[in-house]
Amino acid sequence: MDAKQLQSLKNNNEQLAGFIVRLTNFYEGLSPDIDAELSKLRSHLSGKVDYTLATVSINKINQLFMLEPTNLKNLTQQWIRQLEADTKDFQRYIIDTTLTQKALGVANALSKPIASVGQVLPLYEKLITCYKGGLSADAVPLENTEPEANNTTLKLKQDLIDELSHLLQTYARVNPDDTYIASLRERINQELTEEDLLSSCLLLIRIMVQETVTEASTAGKIIHRLNNALGNINNEVTDSISKSVESFEARQTRQQSLRNVLEDMGDALEGEQNVDQLKEQAQHYLGQLSNSLSQGEESDREEQEGLMTLLVSMQQQLSSLQKQTDSYRKKLVEQRVNMYTDPLTKVPNRMAYNERAHKDWQKCQQQQKPMSIAVIDVDHFKRINDQYGHAAGDKTLQAIARYLKSRLHTNEFLARWGGEEFILLIPELSINNLTNRLDELRIGLAQLPFKFKQERLTVTVSIGGTECRTGEELDTAFERADKCLYQAKAGGRNQVVVQESA
């Protein structure tokens, strides 16, 4: 090895040693034992480098890493879960509008991927600020107010945000390049006050009205083209009828002329005795007959050509109309599919559920048959998103949707309710058989093979279900099923809880 190579190696070693020193400084604070050994490693690598002692320190640090029960990533996730719990506790005990809005902003931020401790600390600072505000004299404690009314208000607001997000997702699929929809979707992912939520709803209403106006304009243009085409066809048919009448009258005239010629020939044959004159008169009458027949043939030919031209023109216009109506019909079908299908999982969405549930429930009540409803929620879905990424979360929802869809009975209906929740309608099934049916789906889902980042993972679901009863609103049954779902999750998850109607 020459001097140049030795100098390069020395420079690289010094650079590596400097990097290790800076790296140990950056990660200091995880454990006192590790910090002490990192300090020794820095001393061995600073100034005159002692690689022998540095190697000893590195081996000790490796052993300490193996004995350490947690790492920085897991510690970050623990802090996030604790922060979520603290935020929920704060929202439960404080109803001051300003403070609850700030806490909601923290909760919304926690629902997004967090990859570093640096992202957690600012959220803690915000929550501490909320707690400070809650301890001030201006804050209103929950025990002095009506907690049920506050919880109802917060739930209503969150339901509005969820519904708004769902509608925007549907419109974004129909109009992916719409800047208003994109900006509104970004807006609702941030902290929203009541005024922001109201303005967002108004903006969505404007988008829906504009979409309706556009569709009406498109339909109007098609109807206008259809009316023009039918008008053209009507004019051509009227013209053809007029020409047919003229042709019929001309044919009648020619036939009368032929009869007159024949009568004249008959009279001439009876009264004429001179053969030469008779021959001359016969030739004259035959010439008239020939001319009349020629005129008739020419007239018939023109009439046939005109009729063929009319038929070809009508066929072309009808073909064009058929293409336009087929295109419009196809567009309507595509729009309906888009409006009623969840873009991620390809199963029906909440809008489709609302329409189908009303029909099924009405039918079951008319036939005096039961109908059950179930809410399915993916367990620890946020953890999947945080640890493996949103792509893994999307694939999880897609796999679960495919499995549930493949296991549906003929009369059952599955829809994505939103987030990691699905809703299942089961007509003609009573509470007595509901638990077995839902457990069958739950057990099957738990057996699906998931693998993310070379790590096998078992994904489970919690299910809440109930039977609808004649005379009650579907929303009442849904709320009962939703409460059962929360009981299933509070009871340890990966279980089914059902409840009869009160």
Residue 25 has pLDDT above 70, yes or no: no
The Cα 118–Cα 247 span in angstroms is 94
**pLDDT, tens digit, 9 for 90 and up, residues 329-377:** 787 777 777 778 888 899 999 889 999 999 999 999 999 999 999 999 9
E strands, 49-206, in order: none
**pLDDT, tens digit, 9 for 90 and up, residues 389-415:** 888 999 999 999 999 999 999 999 999
Neighbours of 133 (CB within 10 A): 17
Q: What is the CATH number of the domain that holds 423?
A: 3.30.70.270
Do 392 and 418 lie in a common domain?
Answer: yes
Residue 322 has pLDDT above 80, yes or no: no
Do 311 and 246 lie in a common domain?
Answer: yes
Do 311 and 359 lie in a common domain?
Answer: no
What pLDDT does residue 482 have?
Answer: 92
* Mean pLDDT for the stretch of residues 424-439: 94
**Residue 392, in any domain of the structure:** yes
What b-and-e string marks burial along 275-286, b requiring 16 or more CB atoms within 10 Å of the CB?
Answer: eeeeeebeeebe
Single pTM value for the model: 0.48
The Cα 466–Cα 379 span in angstroms is 20
Could you tell me which of 499, 422, 436 has the C-alpha nearest to residue 468? Answer: 499
E strands, 240-388, in order: 371-378
Q: Which domain holds residue 61?
A: 3-69
Do 405 and 437 lie in a common domain?
Answer: yes
Residue with the bigger pLDDT between 235 and 376: it is 376
Question: Token pair for residue 83?
Answer: 């922060």
Of 314, 336, 358, the residue at which a domain comes to its end is 336
Kindly report the average pLDDT of the chain as a whole number. Answer: 75
Do 238 and 275 lie in a common domain?
Answer: yes
Which residues contact residue 312 at a Cβ distance below 8 angstroms, ignoring those fewer than 6 apart?
Answer: none
Question: Token pair for residue 119?
Answer: 């992202």
> Residue 348 in 3-state DSSP?
strand
**Residue 126, in any domain of the structure:** no
The Cα 460–Cα 312 span in angstroms is 65
Q: Is 175 exposed, middle or buried (0-12, 13-18, 19+ CB in 10 A)?
A: middle
Between CA 477 and CA 486, with CA 481 as vertex, the angle to 5 degrees is: 145
Long-range pairs for 205-208: beta carbons < 8 A, 24 or more residues apart? 207/171, 207/178, 207/180, 207/181, 208/171
Of 49, 69, 89, the residue at which a domain comes to its end is 69
Query: What is the enclosing helix (H) or strand (E) of 423?
Result: strand 421-427
**Residue 309, in any domain of the structure:** yes
**Residue 212, in any domain of the structure:** no
In this structure, what is the dihedral angle of CA atoms 200, 203, 204, 206, given to the nearest 10 degrees? Answer: 160
Residue 310 pLDDT grade (very low, low, confident, very high; cuts 50, 70, 90): confident
**Residue 303, in any domain of the structure:** yes
The Cα 343–Cα 341 span in angstroms is 6
Number of compact structural domains in the chain: 3
Question: Token pair for residue 449?
Answer: 């093979």
Do 409 and 470 lie in a common domain?
Answer: yes
Residue 142 pLDDT grade (very low, low, confident, very high; cuts 50, 70, 90): very low
**Residue 194, in any domain of the structure:** no
Question: Residues 414, 404: contact at Cβ < 8 Å?
Answer: yes
Residue 143 pLDDT grade (very low, low, confident, very high; cuts 50, 70, 90): very low
Residue 215 pLDDT grade (very low, low, confident, very high; cuts 50, 70, 90): low
**What type of residue is 316?**
Q
Do 315 and 254 lie in a common domain?
Answer: yes
Question: Residues 90, 134: contact at Cβ < 8 Å?
Answer: yes
Do 15 and 64 lie in a common domain?
Answer: yes
Residue 53 pLDDT grade (very low, low, confident, very high; cuts 50, 70, 90): confident
Of 31, 47, 69, the residue at which a domain comes to its end is 69
> Residue 319 in 3-state DSSP?
helix
Do 400 and 487 lie in a common domain?
Answer: yes
Residue 59 has pLDDT above 50, yes or no: yes
The Cα 488–Cα 502 span in angstroms is 19
Do 331 and 407 lie in a common domain?
Answer: no
> Residue 463 in 3-state DSSP?
strand
Which residues contact residue 488 at a Cβ distance below 8 angstroms, ignoring those fewer than 6 apart?
Answer: 462, 463, 464, 495, 496, 497
The length of the chain is 502
**Residue 404, in any domain of the structure:** yes
Residue with the bigger pLDDT between 327 and 151: it is 327
Do 368 and 493 lie in a common domain?
Answer: yes
Do 255 and 370 lie in a common domain?
Answer: no
**Residue 267, in any domain of the structure:** yes
Question: Residues 423, 415: contact at Cβ < 8 Å?
Answer: yes
Residue with the bigger pLDDT between 276 and 151: it is 276
- State the helix-helix crossing angle for 179-188 and 194-271, rounded to 10 degrees: 150
